[in-house]
Structure 1
Amino acid sequence: MAEVRKMKLGSQGLEVSIQGFGCAGLVRPPKPENEMIALIHHAINSGITFLDTADIYGPFTSEILVGKALKGGMREKVQLATKFGFKRVNGEMEVQGDPAYVREACEASLKRLDVDCIDLYYQHRVDTRVPIEVTMGELKKLVEEGKIKYVGLSEACAVTIRRAHAVHPITAVQMEWSLWTRDLEEEIVPTCRELGIGIVAYSPLGRGFFSVGPKVVESFNEGDYRKNIPRFLPENLEHNKHVFERVSEMAARKGCTASQLALAWVHHRGGDVCPIPGTSKLNNLDLNIAALSVKLTPDDLAKLESFASGDNVKGDRIWTKTFSWLDSDTPPLSSWQTS
């Protein structure tokens, strides 16, 4: 088993395992609770101490599961991250960031997790109706009250990150980052590095694509959100399978799996990057940890990136811009004060 080192995430003092564990898949679709708790314990005992969940996962059931897994002295061993921002209104998903909702969501997450404090609390998506300064103002109060330690953003544009950071230091920005998802590299990554903000990479295995290739769609259940992602639609998947084939060929030469190679590529993005692959299978968890032993040369990195360049991947990574950093800036603070 590869050694799981610690890293500084951001410049505010948070230290986490160099690889985290995404907890969405533990409850989507529902799985035996005792098995998933055992999986979380295995991750922690293997050195993966950075757990990432959200209120919307389930909804709510992932936080409850993680809370149960942290009983019996486990809480002190982990850095716990969760998120707020999505709410179902009349059957439709809305993004909310007004102060009352921020507080309500935090209090509810604390109860479900059954903890006194959340280590890293993210705004899951940016509410484009509420100035980011207003949302951050309430998060700052929650820090001052000891309910959260550090603040994060997810899928926020560079301008929003700067505005938020000016109100209260942002510790981490969580973005989708993988071999075939590179849109954050032009503006968001440089902004985070300039401001001393850590980067948490979600879906580092391309939402399962780099684990099994095109066959991943065979595992999608009826409610799987990935069914709507353009990259997984039949007309694009037939083209994109060539990306997986080339990565697999290189992985065979390197003596690892395609998923380990793809995950190692994310680890090589920099010492400020922490990927959070998720799985519900113990064997996959061990394979993800073993990816830390995969070493890549500059030539390896260049070849990998050429396999999944923009020309070689068809279809967007998301099904609606609402759920990405695109167009995620918010109104000026003056508009809120005068409304």
Structure 2
Amino acid sequence: MNLPKHATIIEVGPRDGLQNDKSLVPTDVKIEFIHALKASGINEIELTSFVSPKWVPQMKDAKEIVAAVQDSSRNIVLAPNRKGVDMALESNCMAVAVFVGVSDTFNKKNINKTTSESLLELQPVIKELKDKDIFVRACISTSFYCPYEGKMNVEDVVNLCSSFVEYGVDELSVADTIGMANPKESYELFSRLKEEFPDTLVTAHFHDTRGMALANVFAALQAGISRFDTSAGGLGGCPFAKGATGNVATEDVVFMLHQMGIETGIDLEGIKKAVDIIRPHISRHIESKYDRLVQASQ
């Protein structure tokens, strides 16, 4: 069985997990949530997004969040366009995520640009960020399925990733945005990406729409992936993908990895404390299996 000795968790709850929640979470609660996640042993985390408050009101406090939690760990902010990148730079962020969907239709509905138009816009931005020695993470949306176009072509995913690698990004976060992938598809795509881009960090990002996320994580492990985006409490969703549920829960992935003897450096009790902080302030239910077991035992 092909399993790593250690896996890295990139916590996306404060950004991807909260951005579409109907309840506006107070800034001080977000900060407490992030500090608790860091205290659990998480060293890479998506903090927030520098986006228009008109479109994503949950992220209107991005500057305050960044100022309150910056430290020596990898604190990632999402910046979908030139204006967002400028705001990230003004806030002295040292890790920036950009994103493009493999699907043109998804991309148009999300940021009103085709995939190729987005790439053209991002190329000089990525060069500028790398010239400033900033870590750049490229998020590849709809890598398996699109809610409008259906199943994606593997070659289109590889070609998009290849463009980002040529631009000099440090990491590819490859997402099953609407949670429709199966373990066979996970293994095949991530095996191909590991073969094509051996010198680039490749991270798997799964949603749990059909209850397949943990199986897909295991398949990606078999393909040589040891980096996973997860969200405490299974928070998240996609406003452009009807029915898409949250990201795979951090505590479920960490529990599974630890059970298989794969170290993460993360304390499960610490994740539980973080989830308990955010629980009263969100509109959706916590969706992790680990949380249900803990609640049932109390």
The TM-score bracket by the shorter chain reads 0.5 to 0.7
Residue 302 (structure 1) aligns with: none
Equivalents in 2 of 1:140, 1:105: separation in Å?
A: 15
Select the residue among 150, 155, 159 that pairs with 2:136: 150
Residue 294 (structure 1) aligns with: 259
Gaps of 5+ in 2: 103-113, 144-156, 236-248, 263-298
- Cα deviation code 1:79-126 (max 9, x no counterpart): 1223344xxxxxxxxxxxxxxxx4223113445xxx312414222436
Indicate the percent of aligned positions where both proteins have the same amino acid.
13
- Decide whether aligned partners of structure 1 residues 143 and 57 sit closer, same or farther in structure 2, where only a CA change above 3 A counts: same
- Decide whether aligned partners of structure 1 residues 57 and 263 sit closer, same or farther in structure 2, where only a CA change above 3 A counts: farther
- Decide whether aligned partners of structure 1 residues 277 and 6 sit closer, same or farther in structure 2, where only a CA change above 3 A counts: same
Provide the secondary structure at the position in 2 that maps to 1:130.
helix
Residue 25 (structure 2) aligns with: 32
Residue 83 (structure 2) aligns with: 104
Equivalents in 1 of 2:233, 2:63: separation in Å?
A: 17
Equivalents in 1 of 2:96, 2:260: separation in Å?
A: 30
Post-superposition shift, 1:45?
0.3
- Decide whether aligned partners of structure 1 residues 106 and 19 sit closer, same or farther in structure 2, where only a CA change above 3 A counts: closer
- Decide whether aligned partners of structure 1 residues 37 and 273 sit closer, same or farther in structure 2, where only a CA change above 3 A counts: same
Larger Rg: 1
Residue 305 (structure 1) aligns with: none
1:21 and 1:51 in contact (8 A); partners too? yes
Select the residue among 190, 193, 212 that pairs with 2:192: 190
Residue 221 (structure 2) aligns with: 268
Residue 40 (structure 2) aligns with: 46
- Decide whether aligned partners of structure 1 residues 32 and 166 sit closer, same or farther in structure 2, where only a CA change above 3 A counts: closer
Aligned pairs (5 A) from 1:241-256: none
The yes-or-no answer on 1:132 pairing with 2:129 is: no
Q: Which amino acid aligns with 2:22?
A: P
Q: Which amino acid aligns with 2:78?
A: K
- The count of aligned residue pairs is 212
Instruction: Give the alignment's Cα RMSD to 1 decimal.
Output: 4.0
Provide the secondary structure at the position in 1 that maps to 2:230.
coil
Equivalents in 2 of 1:71, 1:138: separation in Å?
A: 23
Moved runs in structure 1, 4+ residues, more than 6 A?
Answer: none
Select the residue among 102, 113, 122 that pairs with 2:98: 122
Residue 21 (structure 1) aligns with: 12
Q: Which amino acid aligns with 1:119?
A: A
Aligned pairs (5 A) from 1:221-236: none
Residue 162 (structure 2) aligns with: 162
Q: Which amino acid aligns with 1:152?
A: A
Post-superposition shift, 1:131?
7.6
- Decide whether aligned partners of structure 1 residues 104 and 71 sit closer, same or farther in structure 2, where only a CA change above 3 A counts: closer
Question: Under a length normalisation based on structure 2, what TM-score does the superposition of the two structures give?
Answer: 0.55
Q: Which amino acid aligns with 1:190?
A: R
